[in-house]
Amino acid sequence: MIELKHISKRFGDLVVLDGVDFEVRQGETVALLGPSGVGKSVLLKHINGLIHPDAGEVWVDRMKVGALKRKELSRLRSRIGYVFQNGALFDSLTVFDNIQLGITDEAASEDEVYCRDRVRQCLDHVNLPPETAHKYPAELSGGMRKRVGIARAIAGQPTYLLWDEPTSGLDPVNADIIDSLVEKLDDELGVTSVVVTHDVRGAFRVADRIALLRDGRIRAMGTPAELRASTDPAVQQFLERDLTIPVAH
Amino acid sequence: MESHSVTLDVRRLVGRFSLRSTSHVGRVSYLLLEMARAVPEWRIWMPRMFEQASNVGYGSLFIVGLTAGFAGAVTSLQAGYQFTGSIPVYFAAGVIVESIILELGPVLTALVLAGRIGARYAAELGTMRVTEQIDALESLGRSSVSHLVLPRVIAGTLMLPVLVVFADLVGIGAGWVAAKGSLEMTNADFTYGAQYFFKTWDLWYSMIKAFAFGLAITIVPCYMGFSTQQGAEGVGRSTTAAVVSASVLILFLDAALAKVLLKT
Amino acid sequence: MDLYYKQELKVGVIVIVAVTVLVTGLLWLSGRTIGAGSTVTVPVRFSNVSGLQPGDPVRISGVKVGRVANVVLEDVGNVTVYLEVSRANRPRTDAKALVASLDFFGEKYVDYVPGNASDVLRDGQVITGQREVAITETATNLTSRAADALAGVQTLLSERTAEDIHRTLVAVERTLNVVARLGEGPTVGELRETLGAVQRLAVRMDSTLAKPDIGKSLDQVDEIAASMKEMSDGLGKATTSLGSILEKMDRGQGVLGRAVNDSTLHDDLHETLVALRKLLDDVRERPGRYVNVKVF
Ligand SMILES: Nc1ncnc2c1ncn2[C@@H]1O[C@H](COP(=O)(O)OP(=O)(O)OP(=O)(O)O)[C@@H](O)[C@H]1O
Ligand SMILES: [Mg+2]
C-alpha cells in the first residue's frame, strides 16, 4: 500500500506539487496521467524517497519513508522497482551488469548461475534477444535502452513497481508487450504498480484506477469507467483526444 | 525591505555567500559521515576500489614521472646557479633531495592528480547525477556512497602516497643526473649532501602530506560531482569547481601541515 | 571475478614496489645498511661533543664504519653518544673515541678506535671519549708548560719540576699525534719515530719517578744515571726530528707543509723545539739537578 498524504514540493519559486493526496492499494495498478511538466516524475520519486517532500508524508507498507533509517530505506527500496523515464542505465557497465545490479537480493546476486538465468529471463520479458546482454548502453537504441531499464527494475522481483512512461518511444508492438508485462506482473505476482503514462489507451487497458495530476494536485481519481463518466472539463479534455481515435475506427 | 540595486547589495551578497559556504560544509560533513558508515560494506567497495586504484596508479605514472623529473632537474640546475663560490657542492644535493621530498614531490603530484583524477571523478559522478544513474542506483536499494564514492576516495588516497614515492624517486634521480652534469658533483658528494640534511621524519612527513592530499583530491571532486545540477553545463561547472577547489585545498593543506608538523 | 583478481594483482604490485622504494630510500638517506642485526650500539661518554649530531659518520683510521645513532645530553659536561658500528668493529677493553672535525664547516665525526685488546666489552658498556683539542690550543699549552719547566730547572729542582718535564713530554706526544693526523708520506715516518722516542722517554721518566724507595738504595744510583742517559738521548732524538720536520715545513714540503697555511702551528712547534733543546742541554750538563730530586 502506497499513501501520499498532502505532499507539497517546490523547486525554488516553482510549485510543482501542492498538497497531493494519492493512494494505491495493495495489488492495484494505478495509471497516473497529466500534461508534460506537471510533476508526475517528481511525484513518483517521492514514493521511494529519491525526493523528499517539503510538507506532507509518504507511507509505503505502513512505513513512513522520510523517517526510515539508512538500512531500512535501502531494504524498502530494494522491494520497489523504478523504471526511469530515460532509462538511466549505468553507461560504464554492460547490459548484463546493469540487470545484475537490479538483482537486489544479496545472496542471489552472488550466485552466478542464478544471475545468468535471471538476466536472460528479464531480457526475454521485455522482448530483447539474449545477445543484448554483452552490449553497452551506448550501443543500444532509445527503445532498447528503455526496455533494459525495465528489465533491471523487475530483475529483483519487487513487490512494488513505479513505471515512468514505460511505453513512450516504443513502437506499438513493443508498447503492447510492455503493457502485457505490466498486466502479467499484476495478475500473476500481485505486484502493486503506479504507471505514469501519456498513452491514455494503454492506461485504460492496464489500470485498475486512473489518476489525473493537474496544477499540483490530483484533479480526479477513479476507475476507468468513473473517469470516462466524469463531467470535469479538464478530465474530458485530457481523455477526449486519445479516446476518440479508437471510436473513429 | 526594499532595495534599489538588489544585486549590488553587499550585505545580501555576503549573506548569500556565507549561507552557501555553510551549506557546503554541512553537505561535505554529511558525505563524510555516509562514507564512514559505508566502510563496513567492503564487499561492495573493495573490488571497485581495486579497479579505480589500478587505473589511478598506472594511468598517472607517466605524467607524475614527467613532472617530478623536470622538477628535480630544474631544482638541481637552479641550485647550481645559486650556489656558486664558497658554498660546497654537496649543499646543493641536500637542497635538491629535501625540496623534492618535502615539497615538490607531494605537492606537484597532488596538483597533477587533482587535474587528472579530480576532473575525472567530478565529470563521471556529475554525468551519473544528471543522467539519473545515481538515482537509479539508490532506487535499487544500493548505496551510491559505497558503490561510487568510497572506491574512488580509497583508491586515490591509497595511490597518492605510492605515486609520491615514485615522484620522489624520479625527481631525485633526475636532480642527481643534472647535478652531475652541471655542478660537477660526484656520486659521493651527492650521497653525502643528501644524507647530511636528511631526517627520517622528512619522509614520513612527505607520506602524511600525500595521504592528506589524496583525501582532498578525491573527496572534493566526488562531492562536486554528486551535487551537479543542470546537464552538460552543470557537469562542466562542477568539474572546473572540483579541480580549482581541490588545488586550493592542496595549497592550504600544504601550509597548514607545514605549520603543524614541522616544528624544528 | 577473474577481472577483479587481475586488478588486485596490479595494485598489489605497484604498492609493493612503492614500499620497497620507500624503505630503500629511507635506509639510503639515513645512511644505514640493511640488516640491523649486524651492528652494535656503543655508548660513549663525552664531556663536550662540539656540535656532533645524529647521523654524523664514525670513522676508523679515516674509513667510515658507522654513524652516530643518537646524542643525549645527560647533564652539563656529560653527554652520551651512541655509535652504531658493525659488529666486526665492536669495542675492546682499550677502545677509544674522539670527536673530531671533518671540514671547515664545523661538520664533526667520531674517530673511533676499537682497540686490540683480547677482551671485547660487553654490549652497552660505556667507554669514555676524548674531545680533540684544537691544534693551536695544544701547542700553546705546550710552550707555556715547557717554559714553566725551564723556569723550574733554573730555580730549585723538585718533584714538581720533574713532573712538569713529564707533562711536557706528554704534551709533545699529543701534539705530534695531532700533527700525524694531518700529514702523510715521508713526514709520517719521521713523526712516528719521534713519537716512539718520546713515548719511551715518558715511560722511563714514569718508572724512575714511581720508584718509592729510590732514595734508600745507593745501588740504584747507577740505574738512575742510566735512565738519565736514556732520557737525554731520547730528548736529543725528539729534538732532532722535530727540527727536521720544521725544516721541511719551512720549505713547504710534503702534505704537512702545504696543509699548514697559518704559521701558528709552525711557530708553536718551533718554540717547543727551542724549549726542548734548552731542557736537553740542561739535562746533559747538570744531570744531578734532575736526579737529586729523589735521591737526596
Ligand atoms: N531537480 C529539479 N530541480 C528543479 N526543477 C525540477 C527538478 N525536477 C523537476 N523539476 C521541475 O518540476 C516540474 C515537474 O517535472 P517532472 O519531471 O515531474 O514533469 P513530468 O510531469 O514528469 O513531465 P513529463 O511528462 O514531460 O515527464 C518541471 O517543471 C521541472 O522543471
Ligand atoms: Mg516525467
The C-alpha angle with vertex A101 and arms to A98 and A106, in degrees rounded to 5, equals 165
For residue C175, give its domain range: 141-295
SS3 (DSSP) at C67: strand
User: CA–CA distance from C292 to each of C159, C209, C229 (Å)?
Assistant: 9, 11, 15
Q: Return the number of other C-beta atoms located less than 10 Å from residue C210's C-beta.
A: 8
Least confident among A119-133, A177-191, C258-272: C258-272
**N-term to C-term CA, chain A:** 38
Contact A85 CB / ligand 1 (< 6 Å): yes
Q: How confident is the model at residue A243 (pLDDT cuts 50, 70, 90)?
A: low
In our burial notation (b when 16+ CB lie closer than 10 A, e otherwise), range A85-112 reads bbbbbbeeebbbbbbbbbbbeeeebeee
CA distance B142 to A73: 10
Domain match, C56 and C164 both: no
Residue C238 lies in a domain: yes
CA distance A136 to A140: 7
HSE-up of A36 (CA within 13 Å, CB side)?
A: 3
Q: A40 C-alpha vs ligand 2 centroid, how far in Å?
A: 6
Domain match, C277 and C168 both: yes
Residue C104 lies in a domain: yes
CA distance A44 to chain B (A): 11
A77 with B141: Cβ contact below 8 A = yes
Does any CB of chain B come closer than 8 Å to the CB of residue C225? Answer: no
Give the highest mean pLDDT range of A135-149, B161-175, C18-32. B161-175
Does position C2 have pLDDT exceeding 60, yes or no?
Answer: no
Q: What is the rounded average pLDDT for all residues in chain C? A: 66
CA distance B248 to B254: 10
Mutate to test the interface with B, among A11, A42, A82, A136 (most CBs of B within 10 A): A82
Least confident among B56-60, B90-94, B187-191, C272-276: C272-276
pLDDT recorded at residue C5: 75
Domain match, C148 and C45 both: no
B140 with A77: Cβ contact below 8 A = yes
Chain A residues whose C-beta is within 8 A of a chain B C-beta are 45, 48, 50, 70, 73-80, 82, 84, 86, 88-91, 101-102, 104, 152, 156
Q: Return the number of other C-beta atoms located less than 10 Å from residue B70's C-beta.
A: 14
pLDDT digits (tens, 9 = 90+) for B173-183: 999 898 888 77
Domain match, C73 and C149 both: no
Q: Which ligand is nearest to the CA of A199?
A: 1
Domain match, C66 and C157 both: no
Q: Give A36-60 as a 3 state SS string.
A: CCCCHHHHHHHHCCCCCCCEEEEEE
Domain definitions of chain A by residue range: 1-21+56-68
CA distance B229 to B234: 5
Which helix (DSSP H) or strand (DSSP E) does residue C70 occupy?
A: strand C63-75
Mutate to test the interface with B, among A90, A99, A105 (most CBs of B within 10 A): A90
CA distance C194 to B151: 77
Domain boundary among the residues C131, C151, C172 is at: C131
Domain boundary among the residues C81, C96, C131 is at: C131
CATH number for the domain spanning C84: value is 2.40.30
Domain match, C67 and C211 both: no
Domain match, C148 and C275 both: yes
Q: Which residue of A has its CA nearest to B38?
A: A70
Substitution candidate for ligand 1 out of A11, A47, A86 with most atoms within 8 A of CB? A11
Residues of C in contact with B191 (CB under 8 A): 28
Residues of A in contact with B38 (CB under 8 A): none
Residue C20 lies in a domain: no
CA distance B121 to B219: 9
- The larger pLDDT score, comparing residue A143 to residue B110, is at B110
C30 with B194: Cβ contact below 8 A = no
CA distance A212 to chain B (A): 25
Helices (H), chain C: 2-29, 135-154, 159-182, 186-210, 220-250, 254-259, 264-285, 287-295
Residues of C in contact with B189 (CB under 8 A): none
- Which residues fall within 8 angstroms of residue B226, CB to CB, at 6 or more apart? B31, B125, B129, B134, B144, B149
Residue C15 lies in a domain: no
Domain match, C163 and C78 both: no
Q: A11 C-alpha vs ligand 1 centroid, how far in Å?
A: 9
Domain match, C198 and C149 both: yes
Radius of gyration (Cα) for chain C, nearest Å?
26
Q: How confident is the model at residue C218 (pLDDT cuts 50, 70, 90)?
A: very low
Q: Return the number of other C-beta atoms located less than 10 Å from residue A37's C-beta.
A: 10
B169 with C10: Cβ contact below 8 A = no
Q: What is the rounded average pLDDT for all residues in chain A? A: 85
User: CA–CA distance from C264 to each of B35, C101, C105, C269 (Å)?
Assistant: 73, 18, 20, 8
Total domain count for chain C? 2
The fraction of chain A above a pLDDT of 90, given in percent, is: 8
* Closest C-alpha residue for ligand 1 atom 2: A11
Domain match, C121 and C169 both: no
CA distance C83 to B242: 51
Q: Give chain A as a 3 state SS string.
A: CEEEEEEEEEECCEEEEEEEEEEECCCCEEEEECCCCCCHHHHHHHHCCCCCCCEEEEEECCEEHHHCCHHHHHHHHCCEEEECCCCCCCCCCCHHHHHHHHCCCHHHHHCHHHHHHHHHHHHHHCCCCHHHHHCCHHHCCHHHHHHHHHHHHHHCCCCEEEEECCCCCCCHHHHHHHHHHHHHHHHHHCCEEEEECCCHHHHHHHCCEEEEEECCEEEEEECHHHHHHCCCHHHHHHHHHHHHHHHHC
Q: What is the rounded average pLDDT of the residues A66-84?
A: 88
Residues of B in contact with A156 (CB under 8 A): 140
C26 with B166: Cβ contact below 8 A = no
Of A189, A136, A133, A125, whose CA–CA distance to A161 is shortest? Answer: A189
Are C112 and C97 spatial neighbours (Cβ–Cβ below 8 Å)? yes
Q: Which residue of B has its CA nearest to C3?
A: B51
B50 with C8: Cβ contact below 8 A = yes
pLDDT digits (tens, 9 = 90+) for C165-196: 666 666 666 666 666 555 544 455 555 565 56
Amino acid making up residue B67: T
pLDDT recorded at residue C32: 62
Residue C213 lies in a domain: yes
Q: In this structure, what C-alpha cell is assigned to residue B38?
A: 559505508
Q: Which chains touch C (3 or more CB pairs under 8 A)?
A: B
User: CA–CA distance from B6 to each of A11, B3, B13, C72 (Å)?
Assistant: 22, 6, 9, 68
- Please give the interface size between A and B, counted as residue pairs whose CB atoms are below 8 Å apart: 52
A82 with B136: Cβ contact below 8 A = yes
Q: What is the rounded average pLDDT of the residues C71-100?
A: 83
Domain match, C247 and C282 both: yes
CA distance B49 to chain A (A): 15
Ramachandran bin of C47, using left for φ above 0, alpha for ψ from -120 to 50, beta for the remaining angles: alpha
| Number of the ligand 1 atom closest to the C-alpha atom of A40 | 21
B165 with C4: Cβ contact below 8 A = no
User: CA–CA distance from B239 to each of B29, B121, B166 (Å)?
Assistant: 20, 8, 27
Q: In this structure, what C-alpha cell is assigned to residue C101?
A: 672535525
CA distance C246 to C238: 12
Amino acid making up residue B212: A
The C-alpha angle with vertex A74 and arms to B146 and B48, in degrees rounded to 5, equals 20
Q: B130 C-alpha vs ligand 1 centroid, how far in Å?
A: 13
CA distance C259 to C266: 11
Domain definitions of chain B by residue range: 39-261
Q: In this structure, what C-alpha cell is assigned to residue C210?
A: 714511581
CA torsion through residues A118, A122, A127, A128, sign: negative
Residue indicated by cell numbers 656520486: B187
Residue C256: Cβ-neighbour burial (10 angstroms; 0-12, 13-18, 19+): buried
A112-125 vs A142-155: helix crossing angle, rounded to 10: 130
Q: C4 C-alpha vs ligand 2 centroid, how far in Å?
A: 37
Residue C26 lies in a domain: no
pLDDT recorded at residue C158: 42
- Please give the interface size between B and C, counted as residue pairs whose CB atoms are below 8 Å apart: 59
Amino acid making up residue C175: T
Residue C266 lies in a domain: yes
Q: A36 C-alpha vs ligand 1 centroid, how far in Å?
A: 8
Residue C11 lies in a domain: no
pLDDT digits (tens, 9 = 90+) for A34-54: 888 888 899 999 998 889 899
The DSSP symbol for B6 reads G
